[in-house]
Amino acid sequence: MSLYTPFLGKKVSIIIDRPKGSKHPTHHFVYPINYGYIPDTKAEDGKEVDVYVLDIEEPINTTEGRVIGIIVREDDLENKLLVTAKETHYTKESIRRLTHFQEQYFNIKILTLEDFDLKSFHMFRPERDADYFNQASKNHFPELLGIVVKEVKEGQIIAEMPIEKRLFAPNNFVHAGSIVTLADTIAGYSTIAHLPEKAKSFTTLELKSNFVRAIREGDLLAESTVEHLGRTTQVWRVLINNKQTGKRVAVFSCTQLILY
């Protein structure tokens, strides 16, 4: 669910791969509304986040619109976003009728903007960019390990750490503690970039780690993504890969307690 809530109330660009009047490639039903996806996103199935465009009558290829809700599929892997291009108001019942052609096969719950406190989702502080965190790292442990933040955006931070001999354990592989520090640092910076209004700081409640393979050369690439973005706690997932080979090194889950 937390994958979809950051889109609520926001304007998004959409590619329509199943325009109104087209047929489903497998089930052969006809799409009575335009259906597409938000490019450069990833849903639970590994593909882009899907979108119903509710209020454009003609078939289209691309459009922009405001996200007004989510269809939660309680018996499926992924959910669907609801978008209006013309600021049209829709009741939950009218949304159910418009999407019935496909959603009739799932146990769904329709959530609209009225169901959410949007302030709890839009916590991102854009002024806390990569330079902000790299400056914060100076003369502290992250700088000592060579951790460099490369990109900061809503719900995500990307950072790198070079693999150097001084970070090795006696077994001639990168010390697990170095990798844990990278993950913990990026999860922490992600929280700082998304602190709720009036929050002063945070502290880590839990850090779970799963190591997939050892590594001894190249660079480590860390990507944090939000799993839960609340006003009391946040959960960040951090994937660590070998930058050169793309192979997964470790997976972390970090739970943060927000301090006021």
Structure tokens at 145: 């390990």
What contacts 237, CB < 8 A, 6 or more positions away? 224, 225, 226, 227, 251, 252, 253, 254
pLDDT at 228: 84
Cβ atoms 38, 78 nearer than 8 A: no
Radius of gyration from C-alpha coordinates of the chain: 21
DSSP, residue by residue, 150-218? EEEETTEEEEEEE--GGGB-TTSSB-HHHHHHHHHHHHHHHHHTTPPTT--EEEEEEEEEEE-----SS
Q: 36-45, 119-128, 224-233, 238-247: which range is least confident on average? A: 119-128
Whether residue 121 has pLDDT greater than 80: no
pLDDT of residue 22: 96
Residues 257 and 233: their CA atoms lie apart, in Å, by 5
d(CA 179, CA 147): 10
C-alpha–C-alpha distance, residues 51 and 16, integer Å: 9
Question: What's the rounded Cα separation, in Å, for the pair 156 and 189?
Answer: 10
Q: Say yes or no to pLDDT of 1 above 90.
A: no
> Model confidence at 99, in pLDDT bands (50, 70, 90)?
very high
| Domains of the chain by start residue, with CATH | 5-115 (3.90.80.10), 130-259 (3.10.129.10)
pLDDT tier, 55 (very low <50, low <70, confident <90, very high otherwise): very high
> What is the residue whose two structure tokens read 């790198």?
160
**For the chain, where are the alpha helices, taking DSSP H only?**
92-103, 130-137, 141-145, 176-192
Q: What is the mean pLDDT of residues 24-49?
A: 93
Bridge partners of 209? 252
